[in-house]
Amino acid sequence: MLPSIAARPFSLSWSERRTAAAIRLAAVAKRFYHYEHRTTSLREFFIRAVLRRPLAVRRARFSLEGLTLDIRRGESVAFIGRNGSGKSTALRLIAGIYAPSAGEVRVIGRIASVIELGAGFNPELTGRENVELYGAVMGMKRQEIARHFDAIIAFAELGEFVDEPVKFYSSGMQARLAFAVTVAVEPDVLLLDEVLAVGDASFRERCLARLERFRARGGTLVVVSHDLEQVRRLCERAVWLEQGRVRREGPAGEVTRAYEAASGTG
Amino acid sequence: MSEVLVRTSDRPPYALAEVWRFRELLRSLVVRNLRVKYQRSTLGFVWTLLNPLLTVTVLVTVFSLFLRIQIPHYWAFLVSGYFAWNFFLQMVNMSTWVLAEHSSLRRSVAFPPEVLVLAASLARMVELSIELGLALIVLALLHHHAVPASWVLLPLLLLLLWLVTLGLSFPVATLGAFYSDVQHALPIALLMLFYLSPVFYSAAQVPERMRPLYFLNPMASVLTLFQQVLYGGEWPGLPLLLGAGAGAVFLATAGYASFHRRKAVFAELV
């Protein structure tokens, strides 16, 4: 009943590989529910089973509906919109963290993402251990991780903190390390959620420079951002989401200005 | 580095192929798991060995001196089954929080969550191998005064033990993701299972007419195999071996299926 997140490699012909979209979302929907009641203990589960009460009472809270989008290889696209419009959900669907409620998500190539502050770091582990773990999740070999390690630490400006548990890091340090390790795994598709909103100006500049290099190499970039100036600088295309639906889609300049006009900030 | 990913409702065989793609993560998690446990405590491995050793000492004292269970070389009998039971106990207990341990990673990167369960079980398996290695030396020197030929079956027994353990760990991990009080209910259930399993007594002491019922517990046949091979140094009967094998495969398949059916929503349960 529930589609799983498991991914299965399948073969594409050479010509398909050259022309195929890097990311294809076909009529994708993701529905969330607000639970007025949810059974969270076994004790209650048995009581409710005996009394024949429903285990959960829920109503639809938010849904992303009918998202159809092709993103070409090497393209860079931004999701914009107000808080709660479904931008991060769209990113999580592309990353494969959420299974779609309907529709199909297809991604070609290695995906790396920074979706929450700190690329899924375990606060108890040290910076070094987290880098190794993240590299391993991305399918990097030990030697590969070791080869990139110094560059990652240098980019993140961690210094001696590298062997301290991540829970002692400042939010800026976490963000820097997350970005550094994500870019270092040399993904084909890079997903960033508000990453450039943290950190100081000099770090943001270095990130933008790094992202431009990533794009020059043919990488596909999908970002979620509230900084429209940055969106115009970084992206060719923008998708404006409103309450889980695409309000407008097109060239970044055009869509961001329309969004600004509508929200009265332009 | 061009690979194509399609997300559909994949069935278990494909899902297992997916785990193979994440073998580097699996290896990394096993190493991490062991390192965290041993590097950060001064006595390291001694702690892991101390716990079963003390338990064995208490059980030997109580059951050979006070209750007088009529099994010759009772300590050797106990050692043969206890480490296997301890592996099962530790692993099933761990499964309640193994998904929660890496919740932030699961919310940020897509990877098959079964890797977490498998990694925990393999780390415990490394510990069990070391414990059993030591136990084998002591058994060969003090109990058999030789190395019984049937010990070549040990890898097969470990495989059966692993499958039975996974068969319970997967549903426990699934339940633990949905219900918070599993970690309170589980120790009670496992304590009951301990008394219903041949650890400190032999399945031969169970009345004949109750044995078909008794062997419904998959750990009963696995532990009996361990006792026959390690303690008895004998070749186990084929019916027992086949029964244990069939039970282990069935339990592992059913347990994994229950996990697989619900794993898509794990990332949404925080």
- Establish if A61 belongs to a structural domain: no
Q: Do A105 and B7 touch (CB under 8 A)?
A: yes
- Establish if A132 belongs to a structural domain: yes
- Establish if A230 belongs to a structural domain: yes
- Establish if A54 belongs to a structural domain: no
Q: Do B14 and A188 touch (CB under 8 A)?
A: no
| Predicted confidence (pLDDT) per residue in A170-212, tens digit | 888 888 888 888 888 888 899 988 877 776 788 888 888 888 8
Q: Is B40 on the interface with A (CB under 8 A)?
A: no
Query: What is the rounded average pLDDT for all residues in chain A?
Result: 82
- Establish if A30 belongs to a structural domain: no
Q: Which of A4, A114, A133 sits opposite B32 (nearest CB)?
A: A133
> Rounded to two decimals, what is the model's pTM?
0.83
Q: Is B107 on the interface with A (CB under 8 A)?
A: yes
Q: Is B189 on the interface with A (CB under 8 A)?
A: no
| Predicted confidence (pLDDT) per residue in B171-216, tens digit | 999 999 888 888 889 999 999 999 999 999 999 899 999 998 999 9
Residue A3 has pLDDT above 80, yes or no: no
- Establish if A36 belongs to a structural domain: no
Count the alpha carbons within 13 Å of B191 in the hemisphere toward its beta carbon: 5
Q: Do B104 and A121 touch (CB under 8 A)?
A: yes
- Establish if A176 belongs to a structural domain: yes
ipTM: 0.74
Non-local (6+) Cβ contacts of B53 within 8 A are none
Q: Chain A neighbours among B 210-269 (CB < 8 Å)?
A: 260-265, 267-268
Q: Do A98 and B267 touch (CB under 8 A)?
A: yes
- Establish if A82 belongs to a structural domain: yes
Residue A156: CATH number of its domain:
3.40.50.300
Radius of gyration of chain A (CA): 20
| Predicted confidence (pLDDT) per residue in A92-107, tens digit | 899 888 888 888 888 8
Q: Is the dihedral angle over the CA atoms B162, B163, B164, B165 positive or is it negative?
A: positive
Instruction: Please give the tally of structural domains in chain A.
Output: 1
Domain of residue A221, residue span: 3-20+75-100+109-263
Q: Do B5 and A9 touch (CB under 8 A)?
A: yes
CA-based nearest residue in chain A for residue B36: A125
Secondary structure (3-state) at B217: coil
Measured CA to CA, the distance from residue A100 to residue A79 in angstroms comes to: 18
Closest C-alpha among B208, B240, B238 to residue B222 = B240
Q: Which of A9, A17, A97 sits opposite B267 (nearest CB)?
A: A97
